[in-house]
Structure 1
Amino acid sequence: MADYRNSWKQESNLDPYKAPHGVNLMNNNPKHALAIWAKQYEISRDDIQERKETALRLAIEGIADGSIISLDGVISPLSQKIKAHHGVSLFEMNGNWIETAQYWTCPCCARGKFQISRLGGKGQILAKLVEHHDHMSDALKAAFRKVFIESGTDKPTSTGLALIERMAPAFSAYPSVLICEDCNNADAAAKKVISDTGRKVDWHSFSIGQISQFIIARNHTPHIIDKVKVLEIWNLARPAYVARMNLVYEVAKAAVLHDYWFERYQGETTPVPTLSNGFSRFNGLELVNGEALVHEMARSTFKHKSNYSRWRSGEQSIGDIPPPNFLAIIQSLPGCARMWAALPDQWKCPICERSKYQIVNYKKGKVSFHTHGPTRYSPAWKSTGQICIGCFNVVTALKRELQIDYGVEVNSPFDCITPGEMRSIIRARAHSSHLVDPEMAETLVTKWQPR
């Protein structure tokens, strides 16, 4: 197989990290090891798992030796070039970077992956691509909640939320598109420029065409933002944004489609050209699982360590009192409505003893009601019945800390704590997360730690 690869490299003068004009490099080298291997075998149900593992291994080998360039990773020739340039070997690389071609170019700032790479604050090489999207779905849901609160209606809707979710794309100013993290950060920085002038820009997100006008792109460094240009572009975009937001509110109020705006990309841009999204799934790569590939490549990448003990040491904010028509809102949310209807009016959480009303959560204009049933495989919880989401969140947080920080094997979240232990470490509050006694919780965690 190495002979095939070497002969292909000798016959081609192409830059392996850039797709030249008129040349389609999406097929990689059709003679790479994975393509040859996939051609020889017909996949059957009996051996498909073994074949997929082989395909993943050959894909990784192809990325490493440069014969597969429609994917990337910390072992690719491009990554070696990036390491040499920065003088650093540790990457912070995300899945989108791994699943896109080494010759990928940002459709917003026009930089290639080599130029996008830069050093992070902890001395690691940042290699991240993100999916940039409009926020009309969030705007519609916020308007949906706002109409309930402002109108005070007590009549629930069984189809309103589903309609809102289906209509969200119609109000988007542009379809989702993969861009470099610097361009996505530039969008956030531009919105801060606008908000610093006292103007509200809650749900606006600039398109790649707009972002490209106010950034000054440089290699291996974050973009510079032209603040004057940002305000000029915002002044041009604001009327359409205001019009859309007015329509969003009317749709939330009347559930009637009025109009929409949509920006198509220029040229032949493939918005999200990742393996998981179906890009370059041929010549054997159709057998490679994108998630598995990212997992394998991520073994030697930089990872931020989360604080999994925060549930027992951090301060929990208190929720607000729900609006008078909270029940109409809950009954308009299918999941919450089912959980509410499944319990009698006099029900109380068997652990924290809060009533149905006290379990209703109201934060940042969002009303919710959730319960959870303990698994039947945890003996101590067999006769407990449904518990509130506040108690369940404490259980899952404990399980997560034990598994990730201490390597404790926990089959079910409810195996790591008994109902009595739960009652001893929490103090329940209406419409809010539980307060956790840090000393008693630490004692419980210590009990599980390997000796």
Structure 2
Amino acid sequence: MEITLPDVRFLDEAGLAHWFPHLDGKWTEQTKALLARFGTDRLDLNWNWFETSTCWTCPCCGRGKPEIARPNEGGVLLAHLHLHHDHMREHFNAVLRERLGKPWPKELSASSRHAEDPMRALVMRFRASLACDGCNTAEGDAKKALGLPRHFSFTPSEIARFVRPRPNAMNEIDVEEARQVWLGVREEFESRIAFAEVLVERLASGLFAMERGITSTPLFNPSTLDDFIAREAKSRQPAAVMKAWAYRLWGDLSQRSVSRDGVGKSQKRRRPARVRPPTDAEVEVFERKPGKGWERTPADWTYPCCERGKRAILRRSGSGRWFTQIRTLAVVDLETDADNLAFRRELYPDHLEGPVVAGMRERYVCADCRDVVSELRRARPDLDGTMLTLEDVRDCLGEIRDNEKAEIDLVLAAERAEANYDLERAEWEFTVHRDVALHLWKVWKCFGPDAIAEAREALTTAVRAEGLDPKAVPGAMRWLLLQGKAFAAEGWARPT
């Protein structure tokens, strides 16, 4: 079998259209026609727009992409689609945390931890669906106008009843019609709120356990191809080439297709401020007593969120002194190694769905960027613990100026945090795996080369105590030890 693997990095626009006709990036004829129509070369086209075809239509307002795209006040053409989801999900998560603490699975038996997704599905009113930014915004505006509960969400078909679409502009809303929609579903919504409380109480009492063992994985699943390619790549060069190509495919397509000319620039222009940069003498005064983050970062350090250097993040206080802080933000690296993914999904039933975290690390950020997380948690305590990625923080910053505090879009930050619940869960799953692997490595190190049999017996006892059955997965014990050795080398504190 011969397969042609196009190198996305070097394809011209005609080549991209030929190989990926189901996608819609900045290279499509439709996008270029829209830019010409509105007389601009600045484009803010997000990932959801790129991942859908040129003929996609909004399920709420019925507009196609040529009617959805609109210019903002700054002259940037916005091509945005958003994932509209049921905020009952966030309410259910909040009830879990309130009743069981954080992280809530820690307080439950292994069989009860698997019940979360089926329980959540019982209280949600609709599945997540892509919608245009006009309808997604109109839904929020309608809830605000009517003073509706934060965790209530109109379904796409309900939005269609009260939204009044306009071509290439933000949609209008019929508030009275939205009120009638709400009154028609209010009783149902309140019953789901009460049902969520009942479900969580049953879960806490151990009455909603759901057994999912190692053999509960479907015989054939989407990872089968990845596992096959991973094995073949070790011995056959063509398979190795295909694996490497597949690994970078979406990243290359994103680079060629997504455009974020509007990121970091507010639609409303702020008044010009009379802010001068600090002089060398003023920086020298500041550096006589800087914070640890300042000392631990090089002089040419810049942060990818606001893309400012160290001198540019200094701000002047009311007393005329220059100040700043360089803080840290926890970020996760997702697992991409096919072998590691296979072991994680087979050993841990919790990992069968959703993202899998390979590691966590701290990244230095300026105080303004870190404030995206801090201010969000103050405004929305129910989102405490939910993660924001580096990309999320960057997108939530408004107009960025040197030596001034950056603007923060807390509404967008809340939307991103709510959408990242799976990352929070994946982070907790990683800590469980890391602690197990480190513990096994510690047990192994207690035995010398002359006590292999005793070491194996001790490892078997230890791993069974963690609720795992490595004998059911060939090579699992060796893999766990190698993972523990790698974590120990990275300096992770061993569990007590």
**TM-score where L is the length of structure 1:** 0.49
**TM-score where L is the length of structure 2:** 0.45
Higher relative contact order (CA 8 A, sep 6+): 1
| Higher helix residue share | 2
